[in-house]
Structure 1
């Protein structure tokens, strides 16, 4: 049985918490560079060039891509043949986030109670989702989720009779209503099925897929491609100033659901789509 030590998890989470807030995803950079070439609007081109310049400065100076360094969301796969020594995984992740946000001088944005609003002063606790899997590997995917885009996300309980057209209508309405408030160009995560909460969870999980990843389901892959075209035809453009680059990617995840339900969640991510993976 493989052993993983508490402090090892803490250190890796600390380091990656800082890294993901400073370095732009390479695939995201590639998509932005391609979009600049394909964009017709000169203003949209300049905005995307500024986004890339911002990344260069952040990397050179070791400062965050955005002042909103987000709430940390972790998707954890724990091998059933693995043992953690010295503490539990939840505490290790939270301690790693705490150290990373303090040592990296990242903004602490988390409040203890959503009504009383007292800051926890170390950006914890993280939102953590667990899956028990075969093997002896510990995999942690961390994401820094800013709230400009999170606030524009939505969940809707559709009737099954509304079908695929109802799903598409809701997704497009959500993006249209968000406009420039979610800092486009955006990445769109869609969760379909399960329950009210499951749809929201998998919509966020969709956002940590590799941007170049193609859906394994041909039907969903075609739907992702159709939706990105429809979203970009809305004309919102980078930062809401117009253009044909509103979304850089659309990712869809599904889950079995009840015969009487069709839950749909749309989780929007701004252009600073920040996530990293840790394998132990």
Structure 2
């Protein structure tokens, strides 16, 4: 049910951001694109069908204090197989060399599971469905540390303009700053599940999120890359301290169809889908 909800119904924060973008869009073509997106969302909910034909690769974010990883992974893999058949989800998982499709959206290390140990009295499982257009647009910049914030801005704008309409804008930009190469991308993925409009708790990072959103929308790439003022719905940043000689910047795009849903499991055994 969690995967079904994510595939069919966008979170309320995403729908609200898209409605706001439509109301504020000044480009005629941009408004047409946003109207089509909103109509598509409504049609998917009425029909109970996935809102995009690319139901993507599935990732799970598992938060909790004590997690039996082996047991949880078995449950999640079974859920993906079942959802692929019943929702249904398009089979999109292939071997990187042979390109043979597994047929059920599972495979070696797929679904991707990010484990987050936290001191909380419940367990949360968030599922994210992510298509190839946005994932293929992602980028990594290993900047000279002297470039600083100015270099970060340049990298983000370069990536946005270069990809154009490929990630199906208006997008959500998720950034990882600092740390090691692998941690940088992991942080960008962690930013992905933060709700739109929820700023980073540190004022300096939150300020950069707001400024980057303004700069990205000033590029004029617009909805579906056809021009307009709404190129991105949000910019979210997570960071880690890093090596004095490095400034890695990971940019992970998410398309307008920011499909995610969360299951909360309480200590008494009760559950709720958020």
User: Structure 1 residues 135 and 46 mapped into 2: Cα distance closer, same or farther (>3 Å)?
Assistant: closer
Q: 2:129 aligns with which of 134, 144, 159?
A: 144
Aligned position for 1:214 = 199
Aligned position for 1:6 = none
* In structure 1, C-alpha distance between the alignment counterparts of 2:215 and 2:86, rounded to whole Å: 42
Alignment RMSD = 1.3
Aligned position for 2:210 = 225
Deviation at 1:278, TM superposition (A): 1.3
Q: Could you tell me which runs of 5 or more consecutive residues in structure 2 were left unpaired when the two chains were aligned.
A: 266-274
Q: 2:9 aligns with which of 4, 10, 23?
A: 23
Q: Is the contact made by 1:18 and 1:101 (CA closer than 8 Å) also made in structure 2?
A: no
Q: Show CA shifts across 1:129-169 (max 9, x none).
A: 11222244221111001110100100111121111111111
Q: 1:132 aligns with which of 117, 122, 128?
A: 117
Aligned position for 1:94 = 77
SS at match of 1:182: coil
* In structure 2, C-alpha distance between the alignment counterparts of 1:255 and 1:91, rounded to whole Å: 31
* In structure 2, C-alpha distance between the alignment counterparts of 1:187 and 1:16, rounded to whole Å: 22
Q: Could you tell me which runs of 5 or more consecutive residues in structure 1 were left unpaired when the two chains were aligned.
A: 1-14
Indicate whether 1:119 and 2:105 are aligned. no
Indicate whether 1:247 and 2:229 are aligned. no
Q: Show CA shifts across 1:169-209 (max 9, x none).
A: 11110111010111101000000011111111111111110
- 4+ long deviations beyond 3 Å: none
Aligned position for 2:28 = 42
Aligned position for 2:44 = 58
Deviation at 1:61, TM superposition (A): 0.7
Indicate whether 1:179 and 2:164 are aligned. yes
Aligned position for 1:258 = 243
* In structure 2, C-alpha distance between the alignment counterparts of 1:157 and 1:212, rounded to whole Å: 28
**Number of residue pairs matched?**
262
Q: Is the contact made by 2:166 and 2:225 (CA closer than 8 Å) also made in structure 1?
A: yes
Decide which moves more: 130-139 or 203-212: 130-139
User: Structure 1 residues 184 and 83 mapped into 2: Cα distance closer, same or farther (>3 Å)?
Assistant: closer
Deviation at 1:255, TM superposition (A): 1.1
SS at match of 2:166: helix
User: Structure 1 residues 135 and 250 mapped into 2: Cα distance closer, same or farther (>3 Å)?
Assistant: closer
SS at match of 2:26: coil
- TM-score, normalised to structure 1's length? 0.90
User: Structure 1 residues 32 and 260 mapped into 2: Cα distance closer, same or farther (>3 Å)?
Assistant: same
* In structure 1, C-alpha distance between the alignment counterparts of 2:118 and 2:19, rounded to whole Å: 37
Q: Is the contact made by 1:184 and 1:246 (CA closer than 8 Å) also made in structure 2?
A: yes
* In structure 2, C-alpha distance between the alignment counterparts of 1:141 and 1:257, rounded to whole Å: 28
Q: Is the contact made by 1:36 and 1:48 (CA closer than 8 Å) also made in structure 2?
A: yes
Aligned position for 1:106 = 89
SS at match of 2:74: helix
